[in-house]
Structure 1
Amino acid sequence: MPHMPASAALQRFRVIDLTQVRAGPTCCRQLADWGADVVQVQMPEHMRGDDTLGGQDGSDYQYTHRNKRSITLNLKEAEGIATLKRLIGSADVVVENFRPDVKFRLGIDYETLAKDNPRLVFASISGYGQTGPYAQRPGFDQIAQGMGGLMSVTGQPEHGPTRVGIAIADLCAGIFAAQGILVALLERDASGRGQWVHTSLLEAMVYMMDFQTARWTIDGEIPKQAGNFHPTSIPTGVYKARDGYMNIAVFGSKIWERFCQILGAPEWITDQRYHDKASRSVNRDALNAEINKRLATHDRAHWVREFNEGGVACGLINDMPGVFEEPQVQHLGMLKEVVSPHHGLQKLVGQPMQLTRTPSTIARSTPRRGEHTEEILAELGYAPGDLARMKANGVY
Structure 2
Amino acid sequence: MTQQQTTQDTAAAQRPLPLAGVRVLDVSQVMAGPYACMLLADLGADVVKIEPPEGGDQTRGAMGFKMKGPDSMGFLNMNRNKRSVTLDLKSESGREVLYRMVKEADILVENYRPGVMKRLGTDYETLSKLNPALVYVSISGFGQTGPWAARPGFDLMAQAMSGVMSVTGYPGSPPVKAGVPVADIGCALFATYGLLAAYIGAKNTGQGQYIDASLFDSAMAFSVWDISEYWGTGREPEPLGTANRMSAPYQAVKAADGWFVMGATNQKLWQTLCKVIERPDLLADERFATVSLRLANRVVLIEALEQSFAQDTADHWIERLLATGIPAGPILSYPQAFESEHGRHRKMRMEIDHPVEGKVPNIGFAVKMMGTPQQVRRHPPRLGEHTAEVLAEYGIADDEREALAAGGAFGAAASARKP
TM superposition score normalised by structure 1: 0.94
Cα distance in 1, alignment partners of residues 335 and 119 from structure 2: 47
Task: In structure 2, give the amino acid aligned to 1:239.
Answer: V
Q: Partner of 2:132 in structure 1?
A: 118
For residues 242 and 145 of structure 1, do their structure 2 counterparts lie closer, same or farther at Cα, with a shift above 3 Å needed? same
Q: Which moved more, 1:239-248 or 1:118-127?
A: 239-248
2:219 to 173, 187, 205: 205
Partner of 1:61: 75
Q: How does 1:63-78 map to 2 (within 5 A)?
A: 63-78=77-92
Shift, 1:67, TM fit: 1.0
Secondary structure, aligned partner of 1:69 = strand
From 189, 195, 198, the counterpart of 1:184:
198
Map Cα deviations across residues 106-162 of structure 1 (whole Å, 9 max, x no partner).
Answer: 111112111121111101111111112111111111111011111111101121321
The answer for the alignment partner of 2:301 in structure 1 is 287
Structure 1 alignment gaps of length 5 or more = none
Q: Is the contact between residue 268 and residue 274 of structure 1 (CA under 8 Å) also seen in structure 2? A: yes
Consecutive unaligned residues of structure 2, counting only runs of 5 or more, are 1-13, 65-69, 411-419
SS of equivalent to 2:227? helix
User: Which residue number in structure 1 is paired with residue 96 of structure 2?
Assistant: 82
Report the counterpart of residue 237 of structure 1 in structure 2.
251
Matches of 1:92 and 1:49, distance apart in 2: 22
In the TM superposition, what is the alpha-carbon distance from 1:74 to its structure 2 partner? 1.1
What secondary structure, in the 3-state scheme, does the structure 1 residue paired with 2:286 have?
coil
Deviation of residue 49 (structure 1)?
A: 8.1
1:354 to 368, 372, 378: 368
Distance 2:144 2:382 in 1: 31
Task: Please tell me the root mean square deviation across aligned C-alpha atoms, in Å.
Answer: 1.9
Which of 209, 228, 235 is the equivalent residue of 1:195? 209
| Pair 1:390-2:408 in alignment | no
Query: Does the alignment pair 1:258 with 2:267?
Result: no
What amino acid maps onto 1:130 in structure 2?
Answer: Q
**Secondary structure of residue in 2 paired with 1:278:** helix
- Runs of 4+ residues deviating >6 angstroms: none
1:103 pairs with 2:117: yes
Note the C-alpha offset of 1:217.
Answer: 2.8
Maintained 8 Å contact 1:6/1:360: no
Higher mean C-alpha deviation, range 118-127 or range 216-225? 216-225
Instruction: Give the Cα–Cα distance (whole angstroms) in 1 for the partners of residues 341 and 155 of structure 2.
Output: 33
C-alpha distance in structure 2 between counterparts of 1:259 and 1:219, whole Å:
29
Cα deviation 1:60-85 (Å, max 9, x = unaligned): 11101111110101112100011111
Counterpart amino acid of 1:123?
A: V
User: CA offsets per residue over residues 227-249 of structure 1, 9 Å max, x none?
Assistant: 12112311111111222211111
Q: Taking every aligned residue pair, what percent have the same amino acid on both sides?
A: 37
Please tell me whether the aligned partners of residues 95 and 409 of structure 2 are also in contact (alpha carbons under 8 angstroms).
Answer: no
Q: Give the distance between the partners of 2:134 and 2:258, measured in 1 at CA.
A: 53
Instruction: Decide which of 290, 311, 323 is 1:309's aligned counterpart.
Output: 323
Q: 1:148 to 1:393 in 2, by over 3 A?
A: same
SS of match in other structure, 1:303? helix
Query: For the Cα contact (< 8 Å) 1:6–1:35, is it kept in 2?
Result: no
SS in 1 for 2:352: strand
Aligned-residue offset at 1:389: 3.4
Go from structure 1 to structure 2 and tell me whether the alpha carbon gap of 1:377 and 1:98 turns closer, same or farther (over 3 Å shift): same
* Residues 1:35 and 2:44 are matched in the alignment: yes
Output one character per residue of 1:211-259: Cα deviation in whole Å (capped at 9) or x when no partner.
2122223432311111121123111111112222111111111010111
Question: Would the aligned equivalents of 2:15 and 2:372 in 1 still touch at CA under 8 Å?
Answer: no
What is the rounded CA distance, in whole Å, between the counterparts of 2:271 and 2:59 in structure 1? 54
Please tell me the residue identity of whatever aligns with 1:301: D
Report the alpha carbon displacement of residue 8 of structure 1 after superposing the two structures with TM. 0.9
Is 1:17 the equivalent of 2:31? no
Q: Distance in 2 between matches of 1:119 and 1:245?
A: 54
Moved more, 334-343 or 283-292: 283-292
Partners of 1:7 and 1:20 lie apart in 2 by 28
- The reply on whether 1:363 has 2:372 as its aligned counterpart is no
Separation (CA, whole Å) in 1 of partners of 2:15 and 2:302: 48
1:149 aligned onto 2:163: yes
2:77 is paired with a residue whose SS is helix
CA distance in 1, matches of 2:353, 2:154: 32
Match of 2:239 in 1: 225
